Structure 1
Amino acid sequence: MEQSVQAFFSKDGPLAARLAGYEPRPDQVRMARAVDELLQTPHHGTAGQPDFCRILVVEAETGVGKSLAYLAPAVLSGKRVVVSTATINLQDQLIDKEIPLLSAVLGTEIDALCVKGRQNYLCLYRWYQHRSSPQLSLVNEEDDSRIEQWLESTETGDRAELAWLTDRSPLWPKISALSHQCFGSDCPEYASCFISRLRKKAGAARLLVVNHHLYFSDLVLRQQGYGELLPRHEAVVFDEAHHLEQVATTFFGTAFGQYQVYDLAGDIVRQAESDLSPEDGDRIVAMARGLKQRVDLFAGLFPAKRGRFDLLGFVRAQDDWAQQVQSVVDALQRCADQLAACGADVWAALTERCDELRRNLLVVAPLDPEGHSASHVYWYERRERSISLSATPVHVADDLQRTLYATVPNCILTSATLATSNRFDYFCRQLGLTETAMTLQLKSPFPYREQALIYIPDNAFPEPAQPGYEAALVDKVFELLAISKGRALVLFTSFKGMDAVAAALTGRLDYPLLVQGTAARSTLLSRFRQEKASVLLAVASFWEGVDIPGESLSAVLIDKLPFEVPSDPVVQARMQAVDHEGGNPFFDFQVPRAVLTLRQGVGRLMRSSRDAGLIALLDTRLFKKRYGKVFLDSLPPAPIVRDTESVARFFAGLAAPAADQD
């Protein structure tokens, strides 16, 4: 198919005929040919072996056009291909924009289907149970009526069709199709089930668009001998692949949470009220409430301080830890025994949930803290109203070799940020990729040298840990915002830093000040896009996924290098593992991770070839510390200046052409 892919992207090809002013992008063609070659090469591996999968790693920076570069050869190959993304935004872009364009260019209908996580679909059984509940609140009657009307017309049961339903709606969690609440073929609504219908459609589709969480959930269930939504496929494309390690860590680990018990107890109560006699129902309801109280007492053992902490250290300080864990294990066992006696079908599913929670608790909270698995890190998280315990693999490489790479013939891993200092060593090591994996690095075609500027303060500016840094940061941010006339995304590595700068700038700026946490993410981004002089302060998720071309985002300011907190138990365990293996935890683990995060943040500036603006990194360690060169080598090829006069001249130069046009 190489000739077909080559022709597709050529200046005289079908894509050019469809798009006015189309010009081939050499790197897009390079990527498409690499993907096509992988998919078309005859496969000689043996399923079940770690080296079964052929792997292509592609870093394609913004502007390369990676979506079409993998979609076109995937469709032309005739194989069943799954495309997995990390964000809903990219899923929507593929389904609503890229695949329809590809279909129009090829002049044929593409058999594509978007498959979301189960929680996005309504469960008919839980819906009917909710509607028949004697405790149904009149307050929810209007929402219930709207759901009822929607069910008369919907083909999918997808909550995305309910634009009026808020993200925090208390109704949806009660009626969604969560996997641990599914009764499968034993469900009385199985014949009409939206999930069952979706599974049939997925089995017939040639191109499936999913998210990483769903893909790994399906991967783990298949390893356990259970089927899920996704059919067998010949290739998978992981877009936004820099998230894979984190997602794999979640799914190859084990967790036990207070809210999991709450959900179970709530479902038991609802089922008892609708299915049992008053006498039996009262007994089961009392048992479910007793289980909830037992878990509340167990959660009360943990300190009130919020955050993630080492579990084994905490356990060793408890005199009666084994007895406390055993009391919850016994409560779950008694619950399972009583539920098993209630009958089959739905009661069997509830029984299995009890058993699974009991097994998980014994994994994450070993009765003997000295008998834990050395391959896992044990930690707990205290949130505002709950406790969760986890056992997380220190490395996911072996799990990926055993599952993903041993079962899927072809795997493409792509993202705008996979390399550090132009090398894939860190990414490949963390994901267990061997030297047989093919790699390709494609730089952004955007004119960074002509249209962007990188500013780093001179060495007189204090380092983040030095006295006076916060005050200097506020003054520098204010100065730069005055030069850029607002129009800036200011990214922070912590809420503490963001809040301090927000407080200092409030009432001092001549531009609208938007701060993460004061409104929904979508609302803030919409205002930031529309109010062109506004300033948005944010942390965490805003470091990526913000795609705002044009003048509204003319500057990206970053407070400091985004090193992870080394006290996090998972980070700490992985650093210790690097040390035990003879490596340098800081240079081999912390620095590469920080580089990838920084590259994501920096990438918010240039979203089209017409964009221009400033990248300000307010951390002098880039020039003062030995590791600074690793970060500098990973930045876009824009000129670097260390004085604000140069920044002012740069913005004056950007404004000049616009003034001439007027």
Structure 2
Amino acid sequence: MLAPKLPENTKDILSKIFAPKGLLFQKLPNFEWRPCQLEMAVKVSQAITEKKTVIIEAGTGTGKTLAYVIPAILSGKKVVISTGTKGLQDQLFYKDIPLIKKILRKDFKAVYLKGRRNYLCLWRFNQALKSNLLEETKEIKALKDWLKQTNIGDIAETPLPPEWPGWQEFTSSTEQCLGQTCPFWDKCFITKTRLEAQKAPLIIVNHHLFMADLAVRDRGYTQVIPSYEAVIFDEAHKLEEIVSEYFGYQVSNYRIAELIRDIRAIYKTLPEKVIEVLSKLQQQNEHFFALFNHIKNRESLNQVASSFLLSEGNALKKVLNRLEEVIHVIFQNSLFEETEKNLKQRIRDIKKELEFICAMKESDYAYWVEKKKRNIVIGCSPIRVDVILQKRLYPFIKTIIFTSATLNTGDNFSFFKNRLGLPSDTEGLILPSPFDFKHQALLYLPPQIPEPNEPGFLDAVVKEIIKILRISQGRALVLFTSIQNMQQVYQRVAPQTTFRSLMQGELSIAKMLKVFKKDIHSVIFATASFWEGIDVPGEALSCVIIDRLPFAVPDDPLIKARIDWFRKIGKKPFWEYQVPQAIISLRQGLGRLIRHRQDRGVLVIFDPRLYTKSYGQYFLKNLPSCPITRNIKDVEAFFKTN
């Protein structure tokens, strides 16, 4: 294999930083030299220098964050780093970037960009104040005091919680933004942050914002992220689902109600004609979405609404047409003429998306309806994201680095490349975790557990979890693939243990983790959002328990559409899509356990298909190389000696 073509001074600098007694060793008290970290840094630097796309799987403990940020800074190019979560964004900006500045003795500029809903909208806030309908509550007073001090307008700075209802009124979405016609354009926090980003060599975003930016450019809105030369996607295994979300369409009862509310809030007096149309739109909106009140979670639009969707959708569209016709009446006697273009564009966007979804003509999309409490959404998602990225991203950015702790399935990146439309010869590098799993971990596969869909599965799981928690003294994260299973097991296990039990949804994730870390014998019962991105090093997390293999629900409209697409092109969806996807999810879940060299713990998987089905061995081959047992006495012995 050819050595990376890097300028000699860059190679020397990287060696001096990542060497056994280099700068990191000198500056970081608990630094442990990892050859894989230097190898990754060299590969990232090579990709940026040679304008290449590379895939790097860096196992837990590799130190991948420093291994890509430092080469990005040394490159002298404008680089975007996109993360899978805001948590990693925070870590990069508030912890890693200041640390790197200290290590390199280099004061470079980095800008943290978030989505619009994370910043106070001065125009909307001032409109609310002018309306005289806003009560001077303690929250409003706190906001006014904060506005006198803040420079960036990030609502995370305020003493108010993220779930405060007022944020919906005082922040704006892309379609609500008035753009350069806004009277607060020069003072706008988002405008100022973007101007700062234009000057910075390093921009920190998350995948949601990155793909939202890619999508709005496609739809004619102003770009969010300024031009850049390279992008690094950390937690890249999340990209496919996020691309699907932002390149589809969604229309909800809340979105239409928000349009009505905005028009009424902006103008103190409305012409009778407009009031009448708004009232009709409100009625039609409520009628249309009430047709889906019976659904649970997410269901196929084709199955639940094919008989009435087109006619009812057209009825709603007619009222939107009428609103667009009469909207000009408002501006004849209004001081807010700058909003006319914005409101008309919002109406047109809703009509266009509503028509596209209701027609259900495009076979490249999956059509669905989802109920989230009072919000009902109809939408469509692209079945294939590879063609989107091949058209929208790859031709314009030549340097792309994909990294994560879980990207390969079977010692190769074929699955990842196929899903994201990357050429088969895209360079890849697998860097194993430096942790000693043979001594740090034990995998326990309990015997005599029925298969997940058989009667008695949950009974057996409950009994086994109670046994395991007594041995581990709590200190466990119990992960489920469904909310129903989580709730049923929690309700039966919690009363039978002396350890504090926490169930996802009772507290915010941040508060729950804080309690979990403080009370080291506590237990968390959780689903999807705890499968990845949770970092609890040390004794507090000594056992990760998983109820069943995390296959995606085949009845989900998007998953079903993808399965059908594989069959259509003559491929086997189970082996080429469902199994690899489940392996990556399982590796993410188990990856919560060992976070440092000092960590010790037991992994538990209840699903007997690991040893009764042919694909079970394929899963086991992709798991950490640790001892496997089916005897609970080995679990007892492990905890006694660790």
C-alpha displacement of 1:254: 1.3
Provide TM-score, normalisation by structure 1: 0.93
C-alpha displacement of 1:12: 4.0
Tell me, in whole angstroms, the C-alpha distance in 2 between the residues paired with 1:214 and 1:604: 26
Q: 2:347 aligns with which of 354, 364, 367?
A: 354
Q: Secondary structure at the match of 2:402?
A: strand
Tell me, in whole angstroms, the C-alpha distance in 1 between the residues paired with 2:173 and 2:243: 20
Stretches of structure 1 lacking an aligned partner (at least 5 in a row): 44-53, 655-662
Contact 1:99–1:110 under 8 Å retained in 2: no
C-alpha displacement of 1:21: 5.4
Contact 1:339–1:348 under 8 Å retained in 2: no
> Cα deviation per residue 1:356-394 (whole Å; 9 max; x = unaligned)?
10011011111xx5xx01111112113332321112111
Tell me, in whole angstroms, the C-alpha distance in 2 between the residues paired with 1:539 and 1:413: 26
Which piece of structure 1 moves more, 431-440 or 2-11? 2-11
Tell me, in whole angstroms, the C-alpha distance in 2 between the residues paired with 1:4 and 1:115: 29
2:334 aligns to what? Answer: none
Query: How is 1:383-394 mapped onto 2 (pairs within 5 angstroms)?
Result: 383-394=372-383
Contact 1:304–1:382 under 8 Å retained in 2: no
Q: 2:145 aligns with which of 137, 143, 149?
A: 149
Contact 1:272–1:285 under 8 Å retained in 2: no
Tell me, in whole angstroms, the C-alpha distance in 2 between the residues paired with 1:59 and 1:431: 15
C-alpha displacement of 1:137: 3.3
Contact 2:58–2:403 under 8 Å retained in 1: yes
C-alpha displacement of 1:423: 2.1
1:657 aligns to what? Answer: none
Q: Answer yes or no: is 1:450 the counterpart of 2:443.
A: no
2:167 aligns to what? Answer: 172
Q: Secondary structure at the match of 1:209?
A: strand
Q: 1:265 aligns with which of 257, 260, 266?
A: 260
Q: Secondary structure at the match of 2:100?
A: helix
1:190 aligns to what? Answer: 185
Contact 1:83–1:239 under 8 Å retained in 2: yes
C-alpha displacement of 1:616: 0.6
The amino acid that maps onto 1:449 is K
Q: Secondary structure at the match of 1:16?
A: helix
Tell me, in whole angstroms, the C-alpha distance in 2 between the residues paired with 1:535 and 1:12: 40
Tell me, in whole angstroms, the C-alpha distance in 2 between the residues paired with 1:567 and 1:469: 21
Q: Secondary structure at the match of 2:227?
A: coil
Tell me, in whole angstroms, the C-alpha distance in 2 between the residues paired with 1:267 and 1:525: 38
Tell me, in whole angstroms, the C-alpha distance in 2 between the residues paired with 1:545 and 1:449: 24
Q: Answer yes or no: is 1:616 the counterpart of 2:604.
A: yes
1:402 aligns to what? Answer: 391
C-alpha displacement of 1:281: 4.5
Tell me, in whole angstroms, the C-alpha distance in 2 between the residues paired with 1:123 and 1:439: 43
RMSD, aligned CA: 1.5
Tell me, in whole angstroms, the C-alpha distance in 1 between the residues paired with 2:608 and 2:91: 38
The amino acid that maps onto 1:426 is F
Tell me, in whole angstroms, the C-alpha distance in 2 between the residues paired with 1:557 and 1:475: 13
2:13 aligns to what? Answer: 4
2:101 aligns to what? Answer: 103
Q: Secondary structure at the match of 2:267?
A: helix
> Cα deviation per residue 1:467-509 (whole Å; 9 max; x = unaligned)?
2111111111011111111111111111111112112123211
Contact 2:444–2:630 under 8 Å retained in 1: yes
Query: How is 1:537-556 mapped onto 2 (pairs within 5 angstroms)?
Result: 537-556=525-544
Query: How is 1:419-458 mapped onto 2 (pairs within 5 angstroms)?
Result: 419-458=408-447
Q: Secondary structure at the match of 1:345?
A: helix
C-alpha displacement of 1:291: 1.0
Which piece of structure 1 moves more, 572-581 or 383-392? 383-392
**Percent same amino acid at aligned positions?**
37
Query: How is 1:512-591 mapped onto 2 (pairs within 5 angstroms)?
Result: 512-591=500-579
Runs of 4+ in 1 over 6 A off after TM superposition: none
Stretches of structure 2 lacking an aligned partner (at least 5 in a row): 1-9, 332-336
Q: Secondary structure at the match of 2:548?
A: coil
Q: Secondary structure at the match of 2:330?
A: coil
Q: 1:249 aligns with which of 229, 244, 264?
A: 244
Q: Secondary structure at the match of 2:175?
A: helix
Tell me, in whole angstroms, the C-alpha distance in 2 between the residues paired with 1:634 and 1:342: 63
1:381 aligns to what? Answer: 370
1:317 aligns to what? Answer: 307
Provide TM-score, normalisation by structure 2: 0.95
Tell me, in whole angstroms, the C-alpha distance in 2 between the residues paired with 1:77 and 1:401: 26
Q: Answer yes or no: is 1:199 the counterpart of 2:197.
A: no
Which piece of structure 1 moves more, 469-478 or 127-136? 127-136
Contact 2:156–2:162 under 8 Å retained in 1: no
Tell me, in whole angstroms, the C-alpha distance in 1 between the residues paired with 2:401 and 2:24: 23
Q: Secondary structure at the match of 2:203?
A: strand
2:4 aligns to what? Answer: none
C-alpha displacement of 1:167: 2.2
Tell me, in whole angstroms, the C-alpha distance in 1 between the residues paired with 2:237 and 2:95: 23
2:358 aligns to what? Answer: 365
Tell me, in whole angstroms, the C-alpha distance in 1 between the residues paired with 2:478 and 2:420: 31
1:626 aligns to what? Answer: 614
1:307 aligns to what? Answer: 297
1:123 aligns to what? Answer: 121
When residues 249 and 613 of structure 1 are mapped into structure 2, their CA distance, relative to the original with a 3 A threshold, is same
1:340 aligns to what? Answer: 328
Tell me, in whole angstroms, the C-alpha distance in 2 between the residues paired with 1:472 and 1:324: 48
2:155 aligns to what? Answer: 159
